Structure 1
């Protein structure tokens, strides 16, 4: 069960159609402190908020987020007239987001890390900063599309960020520069690679691979020995084949 489930139970039990909660009240409902990034505007206003496990609790209960007041540290919610439909994001993906959030919280609370080190590790989660620079030095194009303009490529972890130690999170050998649709396939485990570059594709993804014009590509080029270590993890723990 999600650690945010008490929030869903709270919203399900409300009789009113509008409620305003302070951050402290939400912490009292949940039984733990909100992470530091929850006190920033980007945590509440970014496009991915509806995908987050905490947001899923009020969405499934038929509520939407209203006004955010960071100065007063409170946020309002309102009940929608009909139950909001669940987003199509698979539950496993929601669980993985929650796991990554928990890992990020551990980094933020680690007294042994400087503020710069914390920022660097958290930026690596979204494929930015030092990690992206390290990956792009050796991976200068998407291995499937051939696109070399880095503006259009995502620095994707081979071994997922949530499963890495801090060294692995910044290791350039633990990354590939991929076009967004290829990143999606790789990140969700619908494709993977053998050490020699042969492409592995799940049966469920073959139709999509064809529509996206990737079906004629059988080999992405050989990987280095260090990359192969991370690829073995991907094939074993991420690839759905």
Structure 2
């Protein structure tokens, strides 16, 4: 039985997706939109097929993201043309190299921190006081953060309870 806002009694309409992901022991799962709709028993909204942002890993205001994030998964890749999404489980603890008392933030770690915080690149840029393009370039490995930016990333990571170990 559904309410007027589209939620099923007892939880979100995305509860079946949450249940399937929670029961999985796979580190990575790729599902088609059709498979997700079959789980939900109804169609995805049109924005799921046309807007990458619908699939973003944000911790507020998105019932769908709450479902996969509550199951311990993040959206790793979205292919709108092929109508499929890949969910993956991030490591529990990330390994970070340290050089001269400064953690060396690489593209994978920066992206992992951003996803851990449930932020878009633009949100992360605001948090760090840099441009969105800078965050994008860091995540692509085009540039590495400066020493000052690395120290700021470390402070943000600690505040967000991002788990890492230095090697």
TM-score of the superposition, structure 2-length normalised?
Answer: 0.45
TM-score of the superposition, structure 1-length normalised?
Answer: 0.32
Structure number with bigger Rg:
1
Query: RCO (CA 8 Å, sep 6+): is it higher in 1 or 2?
Result: 2
Higher helix fraction (1 or 2): 1
